Structure 1
Amino acid sequence: MPNTALQQNDVFLPYMRDVVRSEQSLRELNLMWRMIESSAKMNYLPETKSILQTMSATRAGFDELEQELVTNLVNEKIANVLMEIGTKAHYVIDIVVRNLYERTADIGFLATDHDLCAFVADMHDDADAILTRLLAYRNKYTVYDEIMLLDKEGSVLMHINEHSDVEGSTDKLIAQTLASETYVETFRETDLRPGNQKSLIYSQRMLHPLTNEVVGILCLCFDFEKEMRGIFNSHRDPEQRSNMLLLDSENRVIASDDELWIPLGAVVPSNRGRSTSLMMFGGRRYLVRTFVAEGYQGYMGPPGWQGQVMIPIEIAFLENSQSRLASLDPAIADGLLSHAQSFSPPLYKIMQAAETIQRVVWNGQVMTAGHSEHLLQLKSVLEQISETGNRSNELFSLSISNLYETVLGSSLRGAEFMSHLLVDLLDRNLYERSDDCRWWALTPELRDVMAAPERTSAMLENITKKLAYINGLYTVYTRIFVYDTNGRIIASTKLAYHGADSVVIGTNIDYTTLQSVLALANEQAYYVTPFAPTPLYDNLPTYVYHAAIRHPEKPNQIVGGIGIVFDAAPEFSAMLHGGLNGKADTTALFIDRTGNIIASTDPERPVGTALDINAEILKQENGTSTSTITVHDKHYTSMGCTVSNGYREFKVSDGYKEDVIAVVFEYFGGVRECNTIRNKTATILDADSTELGGKQFATCFIGSNLFAIPAERVLEALSASAILPMSMNGFEGRIGMLAIKLENGDKKFVWVFDLGYMIRGKATEITTSSQVIVVQNEEKSFGLLVDDLHGVPEFSDKHITSTPFSKSAEGALVSQVIRANNGNLLIQVLDVGYICRTLKTGEMPSMPDELVIQQAA
C-alpha cells in the first residue's frame, strides 16, 4: 500500500469507529488463518499439500483484502463527506448569485422611473407621493430594507427606513455611481447605513426626464442578513455538524450559519480543490470545501465571493443509526450491487477480492471433505478451516454491506438535497415574477394611457417602447403585454426567440384570466395562469403572471391589466441543469401534484406528459424531502423528492397556491433478471441445520435457489472469467473450456456446461460472481457454470429426503432435497452421475477426452 494511503488511514481512522471495528475483525480472522496454517504445517502429510497451498493463498488474500477494505472504506467516507459539504458550499454561492442577478435588473429599471427622476430633478416637490411610490416598491420587492434617493452631492432627498436618520453621505460610491453608465455594486461599511457593519447596496445614477442630465442617485439596499438567514435555515445540516459560510475574496467570513461557532470577520482556511487535508481553525481540525461563483446570465456576483462549508473532523463521520439496506427490497439490493463496477469502483474491487477469498475458502473446505477419518491428526485443523471459513464469509458480507451502505447513503442524501435545492431555486425565481408584474402595473405611463378616454397611436407606441425597455432588462420574459378591461391586448413586446412576432395585438386573453384580474382586491394582489399551453408563448406551456392596472387618481378603479409571459422552457431547463451541475447518469424533473411534468432533463419525458411516481410522494406536505432506492425506467436508481414550500411571502401568505415537486433520479444500471439475484441473508444456515460428522455438500446458487453437490464429487471452483469461449454447433449448454492446474504444473482442459441452462432451459448470464464448479464422475471431470458459491456444510440424514424421481431407472437431475432451517430452506441435491450419463447419451454432447498440456521444461 502506498505510504500516502497509510498516512491518510492514520489521520482519519481514529474518527471512523465502524471502520476500526471492521479492521479489528479482519485482523482477528487473519490471525486465525495464520494459526490454522501453522497447525497444518506441524501435522504435515503428503495428502495435505493442496490444503497448505489453500491456507497460504487464503492468508495472502486476507492480507491484501484487509488493507484494501480499510483503505477504500476510509476513502469512500472521506469522499462522501467532501461531496456533501461541497454540494452545500456550491449551492450557497449559486443561490446568492442568482438572487443578486435580479437586483442588477431592478436597479437598472427603477433608476429610470419617470416620477422618481422628476422628483430628483426638482421638477415637483410632492414628497408624500414619492414616499408612497418607494414604499409600494418595497412592498413588492421585500428583499430590500432601504431605498434611497440622493442628489449629486450625496444629500438624501428621500428614503423609506423610518428607523434611520441619515441625511447625506460622503462615501466614494457617490462619485463612482455618478461616473458610471451602469449600476455600482458596493458591499462594505458605509455612512449611508449607519450602525451596519457591512451593507450591500446597488446604486445607479438618475437622469433628468427632459435633458438626460445626471441629477442624482438611486440606492437599493439589499436585506443581506435576512436573505442569508433564509438560505442557511433552508439548507443547513439538520444535525448541525457543519457550518455554512459566505466568504469574501480574502477568505473573510461575511455570513455564517452559526456566528457563535465561526464569527463574522474571521479569516478561515479555504479549499477550492478536492484536497482531503485537514485544515486548522480555532484550535479544531476541519474538512473544508469552497466554491467560487460560476455566474448566472453572465453575472458573476460581487468579486471574489465564495461559498464554503466546514465540518470538524471529530464529528464528520458519526454513524447514522438508520440503515438504508435493511429496508431495501433484497432483490433490488442485490441487483443494484451487481452494478458496483460502474457506480462504485472501490466497492467492486472489494467485492472481487472477497469473492476470490470466499472461493479459496470454499475450495479449502471442499478439499477437506471426507478426509477427517483418514487424517485424524488434522481433524481439529479441518474443523477450524470450516468454522473459520464460515466466519470469514460472514465478515466479508458485513464489510461489503458497510461500504455499500456508505455509497448508497451518499447517493440518497445527494439526490434529496439536490431536489431541495431545485424547488428552492424555482420558488425564488418565480417570486421575482410575482413582484415584477405588480410593480410594472404601477408604471405611471401605463396607468395614464389605460385611463385615457381615447388612446392614440402615439400613446400606444410610447407604452410599447416602455414595455420593450423593461423586457430588455428582464430577459426571463418572452413577452410583456397590456390589455383593456375587455381583455383586448393593445400593446405587446415581441416573442423573444422568434424571428417574426406571432400576432397577439388585437386578440383577447381568456375569460377566466380576465375575470380573475378584474377581481384583484388591491395592488398587492396578482394572478397566475395554470401551467398550460398558451398562444402567448407559441402554444407552449408556461405561467403567465397578471396584475391589474389601476386608475392613477382612483386606486379602486381597474382600467386594464398587464401580463408577463415567463420563458419557462429555457429558464426551467437552466435551473434543472444548473442544479445537476453536470452530474452524470442523473435526471431531474419538476412535476405538479398530479404528476404532470412541468420541466425535465429527460428527453424521454417531455413537458406535458405524466411521470409514473408513487402516489404518496404526490401527497407529501410542503417543504418535505424524501429519498429512496427504486426501479425507474428498468434501471436501479436513487430518487430524491422535495415539495415546494414558497419563498418569503410567495406561496406562503400571499394567497397563491401552486405546489411543485422536484424529482431527481440517479441511475446505477439496468434491472437484472430474477435468476441472477440471490438473497444471501435468507440462505444463512441455522446452527440446528448443520451437524459435524454428517454428509458434506458443496452448495451453490442457480438464480435465487440453492443447489448442492456431494462434496466428494467436487474438485474445486474457479472464476467463470477464466472460461475460454468456444463456438460450438449443437447443444447451447456447452459454453467453452477451462484450464485446471495439476499438482505437477501441467494444465488440463475440461468442458464447461451451463448448469442453469440444464435446469431452467435458459442460458445463464455470466456476471462477476459467476463460478465454475469442477466435478468428477469416475474418470471424467467437467465444469458446471453456477451463479455463485454458498458454502460446504454438513447435514445429518434426518435433514435429507430422496425425491420420487430418484427411484426411476434413469435417475433424476435432483435426487434428494435437504430441509434446512426447520424446513424453511430447501436445498436441491444434484446427481452428478445422472448429469454425466445425460451428457453421454447424446441428449447433450458426448463427453470429450480431457486434454492435458504438459508444462514446458
Structure 2
Amino acid sequence: MTKVWRKGLPFSVEVAPLLASMPLLDEYREPLVRLQGAWDSLALLGQMSGAATDMADTRTAFEALTGRLLDSLARRQLRNAVQQLQGRSQVAIDILVRNLFERTADVGFLAGDGPLRALLQADADGTADLAQAQALRQRFAAYVAKYSVYDQVVLLAADGRRLAALDETRCAPVVDDVRLREAFEPGRAFVEAHGPTALLGGASGLIYAAAVTALDASSSDKAGAPGLLCLSFKLEDELLGLFRALCAGVRRSVLVLKDAEGRVLLTSDPWQIPLGAPLSDAGEGQGWRLDFAGRDYLSCNAAAGGYEGYFGPGWTAQMLQPLQHAFADAPPEQADTRARHVDTRELFDDELRSIPEEARRIQRELSRSLWNGKLKSRTQSPSQSPAVATRGTGGGGNGSNGDGAGGNGSSSGFAVTLLNEVERTGQQLRQVFERAIAQLENGALGAVFDGAGFQAELAISIVNRNLYERANDCRWWALDARLQRALADGDATAATDVLSRIHALYTVYSLLLVFDNTGRVVAVSDPAQVHHVGRHLQGEWVGGALGLRDAGEYVVSAHQPCGLYGEDGHAPCLVYAAGVPDPDGAGLVGGIAIVFDGEPQFRSMLRAALPAQAGAVALLVTRAGEVVASSDARWSPGDRAPMGLVDLPSLPADRHVTGELDLEGRVQAFGLAMSGGYREYRRLTPPDPTDLAALVLVPLGPRLEVGGDDAAQVAFAPLPPIGAQVLDVASFLVDQQWLGLPAVQVLAALEHQRITAWPQAPVAVRGMLGFEGRMLPVLDLGELLFHQPCGDDAALLVCQTRAGQRMVVAVQQLGQVFVAGAEQLQPSPTRPGWAAQAQVHLLKGKGPQMLTLLDGDDLWRLVSGVAEQTPALPLD
C-alpha cells in the first residue's frame, strides 16, 4: 500500500489529505510522541549509567506500530463517514425511483379513463361544452384526493389546447411543449419531463404524460391519438421531508438531487448548495473530497439501483458534509453496555485487530528484557546469598513499591529504578494503543446499533410508502367508469379486459378482481386464476368493502390466508379493497380487491434496507410477533418472530428502539421500528394488532464466557518487607494465579523459541529446548498445577537448582521481580499430589492477592528422570 508522510508518520494516500480534519488522530499522536521522547531520555540515561537493557528494537517496534495505528484510525474514520454518506444518498435515490415507478403506472391507467376519452371525442366532434370540462375537473379532484402526491392534472388536445385542468388558474390555455409531444410516438408508454412548464404557469415541475385516445380510436394505435394526459408530481414536497430525515444526525450535511448533467434540481440546504449549481461527483480517486464554493466537503454520489426494470429519469443523489464536521465527533470512550462480553472481532479488519496484539507482543518482549535486567541487578549483588539476604543499609528494599534492590548497593538500586521507569513507559505506550483501539471499537459498535435503528426506520418507511400506493390504487380503480359499467351490466368480459390492462401497468400485484354485492367474483386479471370466477369471497374485508359509503375509504385484510395467494391459494397475504360506485346513481355495484404480491415485494423492500454487513437480516412483523416477510429464507410468512421482543406490543407509532439479543449462538444488534404511516395512510391512528414493524438484525459475534475473577490478572502488589531477612522473588502468572520462584533460581527469560518434542516425557513436560549449548527439559506449570497448558504464547524461564541443574519452565505471563521479607512467608497448608514433599509457601500481597512461592529443586525432581535420559549434547 502506497504511503505518504504527514506529521512525521506514514499514512495511506486516501487519508493523507484529510488528516487536518481528524482531531482524534492528534488525541493519540501527541501522547505517543511524548512517550517516545521520554523513552529516548531513558535510553540515554541507561547508556550513561551502563545499566540499561537493550531498548532500541522495542523503541523501533513501538514507532512502527504508532504509524500503523494512526493510519488505521484515519482509514476507519474515513470508511465510517463514507459509508454513512453513501448509504443515505443511495437510499434517497432508490426511494425516489420506487416512487416514480408508481407515477409511470398511474399516468398509463388514467390515460384510459372513459370520461377523459369521452371529452376528447366530444372535442373532436365539436360537441364539447363547459359542463363536460367541469365534470372532468371534478373527476380529477376526486383522483387527487386519493393521491396527494399530485398538484396538477391536465388533459390537452393534440394541438396543445387545454381541455380540462385540476387547477386552471395555473395552466396556460395552450401548452406547446416538444418534450410532452414525444408521448405521441408509437410504442411510447409515457414521457417524463422536468423543468419550467406552462402546465404550472411557468414554474418548474416533474411531469408524466401519456397519450389518450378518443372513444372510437384504436387503443392499440396511438399514432393518431388526439390528446395528452399530464400529471404533475410534487417532487419537492415528496423529497424534502425524506432529505431532512436522512440528514438528521449527520452534522451540517446536505443532500441534493442532480440531473444527468450534474446540476442541482433539489437541495436540503440551499444556503450551502443552491438550486441550479453545477456539482461534480467525488469518489475514491479524489479521496472522497470535493471543493465547492471555496469549502471542502466529504461527498458521496449514488445512481439509482432500479426497480421493476425502471431506473428513473437518469438522476443521482449526492450527500455532502463539510470536512470540518465530518470527523469532529470522536467515538465514545465508554464501552456500549449493550455489547459487553461479546466477541466482536468479525466487525473489524485484520490489520486493526492485529494492532493490539502487536502492542502486547512488544510489551511482552520488553517485559522479558526488563525482567532479565532486574534479575541480573539482583543476582550479581555481592551481599546476596543463594536464597535469603540480610537487609543492608545502602540499598534497602523500597517499601513504597516493593521493588527495591534488597541487599544491593546504590548502583544496583539505580539500575532497578531505571528499569522500572522503562517498564512504566512501555506500559503507558501499550495503554495508549489499547485505549485508542477500544475507543475505535466502541465507536464502531455504537455505529452498528445506530445503523440497525436507522435501517429499521428506513425499512418501515419503504413499506409505508409502498402500502400507501396500494391503499390508493384500489380507490383509484374503483372510480374507473369502465369497471363501474361492467359490474352494473354484469359484463365479465369487459371487466376482465380492464383488469388485465391495469395489471399490466402495476406489476406488484398477484391478482386483481371485482365482485358483486353478494361477494361473488365476477372477473379476474390473470387468466391462469380464472377458477376464482364465481366463487363467493369470505373474510371481514369483503363485507367491509361492500359496506363503504364514501369513495375515499378502503379496507385492508389482516395478513392471513384468504384462498387468493400462493401456489395452493393458502399463503398469507394483504388484500386491499374498495367499493365500486353505481355509474347510474347512489350506492355500490360491487367491489374491487387487489391482492398484493407481498412475498417477493416485501422481500425486495427489506433487502433494499439491509446494512452492508454480512449476515444482516430484516423482518417485517406484526405487533403479535407474526412474520409478514423476511429477507432471509429461514423465516417464512406466518412464522413467529425468532425471539421475544418486549417492546413490540407497546412500541408507539413512528418510534424505534435498539438493543441486543441472542440468536443461534450469536449476539445480534437489533433495530425495531414501528410503522407510523405515510401521508394520509394510517397516520395518527391508535395502536392496532395489524400494525407492522421492521426488525433489522446485525450479527456481532458469539457471547464470550465471563471469567469468575479478573482480579488475578492485576499485577501482584507485594507488601513492604518486614524484618532483616529478605528474599528476592521472581513472580509470574499461571492460570490467572500468581506464583513465584526465588530470583536466584531464575537465570533468564527467553525469547519465543521452538521446543523439540520428547515422546517419553510426562504430560507436563512439553519437550526440550536449547540454551547455552545444552538441551533443557521444558516444564509447563499450567499443565502441572492446574491441568491447563500455558499455550503457545507462554513465557519461558530458565531455572537453576541449588546443585546447578537447569531446566525451563513455561508460564502464562511475567510479573514483577520484587523483594519480600522472609518472615512474611507462610507454609502452604495443602500439598496434594506432586507437592506432598515440596517446599511451598504463601506470600500475602496488598488487598486479597496471594502469591504461591515454589522451589526450583522440587520442580527439578519432576523432570530429572527425563533429564537423566537426555544426553548433554551441544547444539548444532
The alpha carbon displacement at 1:77 in A equals 0.6
Aligned pair 1:225/2:236, yes or no? yes
Change (3 A) 1:100 1:854: same
The alpha carbon displacement at 1:355 in A equals 1.8
Q: Note if contact 1:478-1:567 (Cα within 8 Å) is conserved in structure 2.
A: yes
**Cα deviation per residue 1:271-299 (whole Å; 9 max; x = unaligned)?**
25574252211111111111111211111
Aligned pair 1:585/2:609, yes or no? no
**Cα deviation per residue 1:257-278 (whole Å; 9 max; x = unaligned)?**
1112211111123125574252
The SS at the match of 2:43 is: helix
CA distance in 1, matches of 2:837, 2:810: 19
CA distance in 2, matches of 1:665, 1:835: 56
Aligned pair 1:269/2:280, yes or no? yes
Counterpart residue number, 1:530: 558
Letter in structure 2 aligned against 1:648: R
The SS at the match of 2:198 is: coil
Counterpart residue number, 1:510: 538
1:632 to 658, 663, 679: 663
CA distance in 1, matches of 2:869, 2:205: 87
Counterpart residue number, 1:644: 675
Letter in structure 2 aligned against 1:325: A
Change (3 A) 1:224 1:324: farther
Letter in structure 1 aligned against 2:534: G
Provide TM-score, normalisation by structure 1: 0.85
CA distance in 1, matches of 2:151, 2:41: 75
The alpha carbon displacement at 1:151 in A equals 0.3
Counterpart residue number, 2:309: 298
Q: Note if contact 1:718-1:771 (Cα within 8 Å) is conserved in structure 2.
A: no
Q: Note if contact 2:757-2:768 (Cα within 8 Å) is conserved in structure 1.
A: no
Aligned pair 1:854/2:875, yes or no? yes
Counterpart residue number, 1:606: 636
Counterpart residue number, 2:799: 776
Cα root mean square deviation, aligned: 3.7
The alpha carbon displacement at 1:793 in A equals 7.8
Change (3 A) 1:347 1:733: farther
The SS at the match of 2:580 is: strand
The alpha carbon displacement at 1:44 in A equals 2.2
CA distance in 2, matches of 1:388, 1:25: 11
Counterpart residue number, 2:78: 78
1:575 to 605, 616, 623: 605
The SS at the match of 2:433 is: helix
Counterpart residue number, 1:716: 749
Counterpart residue number, 2:317: 307
CA distance in 2, matches of 1:82, 1:850: 64
Counterpart residue number, 1:544: 575
Counterpart residue number, 2:830: 805
Q: How many residues get paired? A: 811
Aligned pair 1:187/2:220, yes or no? no
CA distance in 2, matches of 1:754, 1:101: 71
Change (3 A) 1:239 1:754: same
Q: Note if contact 1:415-1:640 (Cα within 8 Å) is conserved in structure 2.
A: yes
The SS at the match of 2:63 is: helix
Counterpart residue number, 2:396: none
Aligned pair 1:16/2:22, yes or no? yes
Q: Note if contact 1:638-1:667 (Cα within 8 Å) is conserved in structure 2.
A: yes
- Range that drifts further, 682-691 or 470-479: 682-691
The alpha carbon displacement at 1:781 in A equals 3.4
CA distance in 2, matches of 1:850, 1:548: 101
Letter in structure 1 aligned against 2:533: I
**Cα deviation per residue 1:344-370 (whole Å; 9 max; x = unaligned)?**
223212122212222123223422445
Q: Note if contact 1:799-1:819 (Cα within 8 Å) is conserved in structure 2.
A: no
Letter in structure 2 aligned against 1:316: A
Counterpart residue number, 1:385: 422
CA distance in 1, matches of 2:26, 2:532: 70
1:594 to 602, 605, 624: 624
CA distance in 1, matches of 2:756, 2:875: 22
**Which has more radius of gyration?**
2
Counterpart residue number, 2:371: 366
Q: Note if contact 2:718-2:820 (Cα within 8 Å) is conserved in structure 1.
A: no
Letter in structure 2 aligned against 1:451: A
The alpha carbon displacement at 1:796 in A equals 6.5
**Cα deviation per residue 1:465-521 (whole Å; 9 max; x = unaligned)?**
2111111111111111122222222222338xxxx5383223332242223223334
Aligned pair 1:170/2:170, yes or no? no
Counterpart residue number, 1:40: 46
The SS at the match of 1:535 is: coil
Q: Note if contact 1:82-1:274 (Cα within 8 Å) is conserved in structure 2.
A: no
**Cα deviation per residue 1:555-593 (whole Å; 9 max; x = unaligned)?**
4x2332211111111111112222337643322222222
The alpha carbon displacement at 1:25 in A equals 0.9
The SS at the match of 1:664 is: strand
Letter in structure 1 aligned against 2:282: N
**Cα deviation per residue 1:622-679 (whole Å; 9 max; x = unaligned)?**
333344455432224433333222211212157895433222223344344446x996
Q: Note if contact 1:678-1:701 (Cα within 8 Å) is conserved in structure 2.
A: no
Runs of 5+ consecutive residues of structure 1 not aligned to the other structure: none
Q: Note if contact 1:344-1:407 (Cα within 8 Å) is conserved in structure 2.
A: no
The SS at the match of 2:427 is: helix
Letter in structure 2 aligned against 1:422: A
Change (3 A) 1:252 1:388: same
The SS at the match of 2:226 is: strand
**Cα deviation per residue 1:516-569 (whole Å; 9 max; x = unaligned)?**
2233341111111111233211211221111122222444x2332211111111
Q: Note if contact 1:690-1:794 (Cα within 8 Å) is conserved in structure 2.
A: no
The SS at the match of 1:591 is: strand
Letter in structure 2 aligned against 1:561: G
Q: Note if contact 1:273-1:290 (Cα within 8 Å) is conserved in structure 2.
A: no
CA distance in 2, matches of 1:471, 1:644: 28
Change (3 A) 1:273 1:329: closer
Change (3 A) 1:408 1:850: farther
CA distance in 2, matches of 1:474, 1:799: 88
Q: Note if contact 1:749-1:850 (Cα within 8 Å) is conserved in structure 2.
A: no
Letter in structure 1 aligned against 2:513: F
2:256 to 241, 245, 248: 245
The alpha carbon displacement at 1:311 in A equals 0.9
The SS at the match of 1:440 is: helix
Change (3 A) 1:707 1:684: closer
Counterpart residue number, 2:516: 484
Letter in structure 2 aligned against 1:603: A
Change (3 A) 1:765 1:803: same
CA distance in 2, matches of 1:158, 1:781: 103
Alignment of 1:7-406 (within 5 A): 11-44=17-50, 51-52=53-54, 55-122=55-122, 125=129, 126-161=132-167, 163-180=169-186, 181-196=188-203, 198-212=204-218, 213-273=224-284, 275-303=286-314, 305-320=315-330, 322-323=332-333, 325-328=335-338, 330-332=340-342, 335-336=343-344, 339=345, 343-370=348-375, 371=378, 372-373=405-406, 374=408, 375-406=412-443
1:468 to 475, 481, 500: 500
% identical aligned pairs: 25
Alignment of 1:691-730 (within 5 A): 698-700=731-733, 702=735, 705-710=736-741, 712=743, 715-716=748-749
Counterpart residue number, 2:455: 418
Q: Note if contact 1:814-1:830 (Cα within 8 Å) is conserved in structure 2.
A: yes
Q: Note if contact 1:343-1:668 (Cα within 8 Å) is conserved in structure 2.
A: no
The alpha carbon displacement at 1:835 in A equals 8.7
Provide TM-score, normalisation by structure 2: 0.83
Letter in structure 2 aligned against 1:542: C
Letter in structure 2 aligned against 1:167: P
Change (3 A) 1:688 1:121: farther
The SS at the match of 1:153 is: coil
Q: Note if contact 1:690-1:793 (Cα within 8 Å) is conserved in structure 2.
A: no
Change (3 A) 1:748 1:432: farther
Aligned pair 1:449/2:482, yes or no? no
Runs of 5+ consecutive residues of structure 2 not aligned to the other structure: 219-223, 379-404
The alpha carbon displacement at 1:599 in A equals 1.8
The alpha carbon displacement at 1:728 in A equals 6.6
The alpha carbon displacement at 1:127 in A equals 2.6
The SS at the match of 1:268 is: coil
Letter in structure 1 aligned against 2:50: Y
Q: Note if contact 1:152-1:174 (Cα within 8 Å) is conserved in structure 2.
A: no
Q: Note if contact 2:716-2:815 (Cα within 8 Å) is conserved in structure 1.
A: no
The alpha carbon displacement at 1:217 in A equals 0.2
Q: Note if contact 1:544-1:566 (Cα within 8 Å) is conserved in structure 2.
A: yes
